[in-house]
Structure 1
Amino acid sequence: MDPHLLRTFVAVIEHRSFSAAAQGLGYTQSAVSQHIAALESDLGTQLVERRPVGPTVAGERLMEHARPLLLRLDAARADIARLQQVRPARLTVACAPATLTPALTKALAHVRATTPALAVAVRVRGRDDAVREVLTGAADVALVDGVAAPSDPLPLPDAGPMTTLAVAEEPLALLLPADHPLARRRSLRLPDLADAHWLDAPELAVPLGQLRAVARSDGFAPHVTYDGTDIRGLAALVASGHGLAALPLPSTTGLPGTAAVRIGAPRLVHRTEVVHPRTPTSAVRALVAALNG
């Protein structure tokens, strides 16, 4: 399967348009049509509905494979390129919003103090995008967070030849309005809250899909979606009664109009992990050491 054809296929499905895919890829629309036809011929089935543009059943199945396949190809290219590069004095950190904490800024300050000529860039990205940036060489290191049982790894995208290391673990808490009937509880059972109103804030709070998985429930339906990275904006929605959110306990301190109650069951932790190549730069090693110090 030609990866060039596969990239064209993904672009067409994502844009739901042959012309928009052509513009994004820098191809002519005719070339995009030829790529799709060649891929369909190779696999022996129609992959794209033309009017309106969208995946067939076979196309939907192929999309499940396409993104991971293309990511691993990009990761392989970046991994080989690292072996041949003379690495400049730079450190690019891709971090999920909840990982941009005082601990990270303090660690970065320590690294800069010990390497004065180091150029540092910090990029706030979604959890999956932060890992992808390391895989593809766009970032030197990623900090990602998530929820897991104390002995389990975080559910991350296929990281290929990457190293992951836990640098922080915190209790998990439920953020709810200060006047909520449950606000005075010492702890709460997550499965008991499956039918509550929830805020879907995937870049700040625990994604609802993860809550369903750990609580083994089909509940946790989103009542309001918050597509932002400002925790005070999320807290304002919670305080106004728009829904509940699960957050690491330290993140809930000092949020007006809210209360935080620990989640006692199932036993879960909010973990922050560092993701970096198997052969990290000296700046990445120094950052990891500072985070663990």
Structure 2
Amino acid sequence: MDPHLLRTFVAVLDHRSFSVAASALGYTQSAVSQHIAALEADLGTRLVERRPVAPTPAGTRLMEHAPALLLRLDAARTDISRLRHTRSTRLTLACSPAALTPAIAQALSQLRAAAHSLDLEVHTLGREAVLAEVLTGRADIGLVDGAAAPSDPLPLPDLGPATTLVAAEEPLAVLFPHHHPLARRRTVRLTDLAQAHWIDAPDTAIPLDRLRDICRTDGFRPRIRHRGTDLHALAALATTGHGLAALPLPLATTLGGTAVPVAEPRLVHRTEAVHAANPSRTTQQLVERMTW
């Protein structure tokens, strides 16, 4: 399967237009049509309906694989490039909003003090975007967070030769508005909250599909959806009664409202660091300072 054809296929379905995809890719519309026809001939089935532009059942199935395949190809190219180019005075860190804990911020401060001339850049992104930044070389190291049993790894996708290691584990809590009847409790059980109103905020709070998997229920349905990486906007929604959100306890206590620790199931908020298999010396120094 030619990756150039696959990229064109993804662009067409992302934009739902042959002409817009052509403009985004720098091709002519005729070339885009030829790419789709060639990919369909290669796989022996129709992938894209033309009017209106939409995936066929086979196209839908291919779209489930295509982004991960293209990301791994980009990661392989980047991994080879890293063998030829190393940077010792520049560090780009990508992190999900709740992953940059005070302890990790302190590790960054120590690294800057030791390196003196370190050029540090921090990108705050959604979890999937953080992994893509690391795998494609746009970031030297990534920090992603999530909920897991103590000492269990996060359920991350296949990252190829990238290295993943624990950076922090903190108590998990639910953020309530002050007036909520459960806000006075010392602890809560997630299963008791499965039918409560929740905010679907996959890039800031613990994703609701993760809570469903952990509690083995079809509950945790969103009352509203929040997209983006602004924790304070999420907190404003949660603390004024729009829905609940699961966050690390130390962070949740700074956002207003009332943070109540989760007692059952036994979970922690876990932050993991992800970097290339052949990291720069600066990346290694940061890892040494922030991991257990």
Using the size of structure 1 for normalisation, the TM-score is: 0.96
Whether 1:245 aligns to 2:245 is yes
What does the per-residue CA deviation read over 1:100-144, in whole Å, with 9 as the maximum and x for residues that have no partner?
Answer: 333233222211221122211111111111111111111110011
Cα deviation, residue 39, structure 1: 0.3
Contact 1:199 1:226 in 2 (8 A): yes
Q: How many residues align?
A: 292
Query: Match of 1:23?
Result: 23
Query: Match of 2:228?
Result: 228
Instruction: Return the alpha-carbon distance in structure 1 between the equivalents of residues 53 and 88 of structure 2.
Output: 44
Contact 1:131 1:157 in 2 (8 A): no
Query: Match of 2:34?
Result: 34
Which amino acid is 1:136 matched to? T
Instruction: Return the alpha-carbon distance in structure 2 between the equivalents of residues 229 and 29 of structure 1.
Output: 35
Contact 1:128 1:157 in 2 (8 A): no
Instruction: Return the alpha-carbon distance in structure 2 between the equivalents of residues 36 and 224 of structure 1.
Output: 37
Cα deviation, residue 68, structure 1: 1.1
Whether 1:87 aligns to 2:87 is yes
Cα-Cα RMSD: 1.3
Instruction: Return the alpha-carbon distance in structure 1 between the equivalents of residues 80 and 254 of structure 2.
Output: 46
Cα deviation, residue 182, structure 1: 0.8
Query: Match of 2:205?
Result: 205
Q: For structure 1, which segment, 276-285 or 234-243, has the greater mean C-alpha deviation from structure 2 after superposition? A: 234-243
Query: Match of 1:153?
Result: 153
Using the size of structure 2 for normalisation, the TM-score is: 0.96
Query: Match of 1:277?
Result: 276
Query: Match of 2:266?
Result: 267
* Secondary structure, counterpart of 2:152 in structure 1: coil
Which amino acid is 1:279 matched to? N
Cα deviation, residue 188, structure 1: 1.5
Contact 1:199 1:245 in 2 (8 A): yes
User: Which structure 1 residue ranges, 5 or more long, are not aligned?
Assistant: none
Q: For structure 1, which segment, 147-156 or 47-56, has the greater mean C-alpha deviation from structure 2 after superposition? A: 147-156
Within 5 Å, which residues of 2 pair with 1:99-114? 99-114=99-114
Which amino acid is 2:178 matched to? A
Instruction: Return the alpha-carbon distance in structure 2 between the equivalents of residues 113 and 139 of structure 1.
Output: 21
User: Which structure 2 residue ranges, 5 or more long, are not aligned?
Assistant: none
Which amino acid is 2:261 matched to? R
Instruction: Return the alpha-carbon distance in structure 1 between the equivalents of residues 80 and 234 of structure 2.
Output: 41
Cα deviation, residue 261, structure 1: 1.3
Cα deviation, residue 154, structure 1: 0.5
* Secondary structure, counterpart of 1:284 in structure 2: helix
Which amino acid is 1:269 matched to? V
* Secondary structure, counterpart of 2:131 in structure 1: helix
